[in-house]
Amino acid sequence: MDIEQFYSADERRRQSGEVEFGNNWFDAKGSRYELSWVEDTGELYAMLELTPEADTWTPFGDIEVEDTAVDSLLVTILGTLATRDEVEQLLEGWPDQMSKPDGVHWVADRLQAAGIARPALD
pTM: 0.81
For the ranges 9-23, 31-45, 80-94, 105-119, which has the lowest average pLDDT? Answer: 105-119
More confident residue, 13 or 118: 13
As a 3-state breakdown, the chain gives helix, strand, coil percent values, each rounded to 5, of 30, 25, 45
Q: Is there a contact between 88 and 104 (Cβ–Cβ < 8 Å)?
A: no
Angstrom distance (rounded) from CA 68 to CA 47? 13
The pLDDT tens digits of the residues spanning 62-103 come to: 544 455 555 668 999 999 999 999 999 999 999 999 989 999
pLDDT of residue 73: 83
